[in-house]
């Protein structure tokens, strides 16, 4: 009686982590208190809670290999009036504030303070969440910086929507005097024209940009923030 020999080929199963959305892996929370205090002392208008969330999100993205540079962090707090500086760029390695600037939001997000946000093409609205800076180019708005949204369903259409950082004449103290607020963009975080090149050249190339508003749905669903927070 012949024996049948069965051969089994074992194929190793390799799990590839979902780096784009962050997968299910937990990230380090609770940024160092000394770092928080040092940065807040230099950034009037920015709250401890918003800075904490921004540091947690950017650290999480860095741990998942989504940032090329961990030394810089830009925080935009859209809950602050557009007439006040609400963009803050920090050098984390030096514990230093580099920029505290005016920044516009999208025309369909609201007036002085936005309260409507969108990820949809043609919405002319601002997107929230964590972005990473990409490449630069010169277009209809001059020297501009592309932003890549890292949060699925929240800001991941940023590239297709041409959501970029650029300079604009309607971002100025003059605009605030005339309008009582800044002018508004088509969804881009536009900055003062005279500062655009300086800011863009500093933050380009893979640094984190954290756009905040106390939106409960985003805070609860973000892949970069602890689920127990928000």
Rounded distance, CA 132 to CA 141, Å?
20
- pLDDT beyond 80 at 105: yes
Partners of 211 in the beta sheet? 76, 129
pLDDT of residue 15: 34
- Torsion angle defined by CA atoms of residues 30, 105, 207 and 164, in that order, rounded to the nearest 10 degrees: 160
Which domains does the chain possess?
33-111+123-221 (2.40.440.10)
User: By the 8 A CB rule, do 187 and 116 touch?
Assistant: no
φ and ψ of 37, to 5 deg:
-65, -40
pLDDT of residue 29: 73
Q: Look at 36 and 228; give whichever has higher pLDDT.
A: 36
Q: Look at 22 and 75; give whichever has higher pLDDT.
A: 75
Rounded distance, CA 42 to CA 23, Å?
34
- pLDDT beyond 80 at 208: yes
**Mean per-residue pLDDT over the chain, rounded:** 90
pLDDT of residue 141: 96
pLDDT of residue 8: 36
Give pLDDT tens digits for 10-48. Answer: 333 333 334 444 454 568 778 999 999 999 999 999 999
44, burial (CB in 10 Å: exposed 0-12, middle 13-18, buried 19+): exposed
Give pLDDT tens digits for 125-180. Answer: 999 999 999 999 999 999 999 999 999 999 999 999 999 999 999 999 999 999 99
Model pTM score: 0.88
pLDDT of residue 30: 85
Please tell me whether residue 201 adopts helix, strand or coil conformation: helix
pLDDT of residue 7: 39
What is the mean predicted confidence (pLDDT) over 51-71?
96
């Amino acid at each position: 009686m012949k024996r049948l020999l069965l051969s089994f080929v074992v194929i190793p199963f390799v799990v590839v982590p979902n780096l784009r959305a962050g997968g299910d892996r937990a990230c380090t929370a609770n940024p160092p208190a000394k770092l928080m205090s040092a940065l807040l002392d230099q950034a009037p208008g920015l709250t401890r809670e918003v800075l904490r969330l921004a540091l947690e999100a950017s650290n999480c993205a860095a741990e998942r290999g989504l940032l090329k540079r961990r030394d810089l962090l830009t925080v935009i707090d859209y809950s602050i009036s557009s007439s006040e500086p609400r963009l803050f760029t920090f050098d984390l390695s030096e514990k230093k504030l580099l920029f505290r600037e005016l920044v516009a939001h999208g025309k369909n997000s609201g007036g002085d303070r936005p309260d409507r946000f969108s990820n949809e093409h043609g919405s002319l609205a601002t997107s929230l969440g964590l972005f990473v800076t990409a490449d630069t180019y010169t277009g209809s708005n001059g020297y501009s910086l592309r932003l890549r949204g890292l949060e699925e369903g929240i800001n991941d259409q940023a590239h297709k929507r041409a959501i970029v950082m650029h300079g604009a004449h309607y971002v100025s103290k003059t605009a605030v005097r005339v309008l009582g607020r800044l002018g508004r963009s088509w969804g881009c975080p536009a900055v003062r024209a005279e500062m655009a090149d300086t800011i863009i050249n500093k933050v380009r190339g893979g640094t984190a940009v954290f756009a905040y508003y106390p939106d409960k749905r985003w805070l609860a669903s973000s892949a970069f923030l602890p689920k127990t927070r928000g």
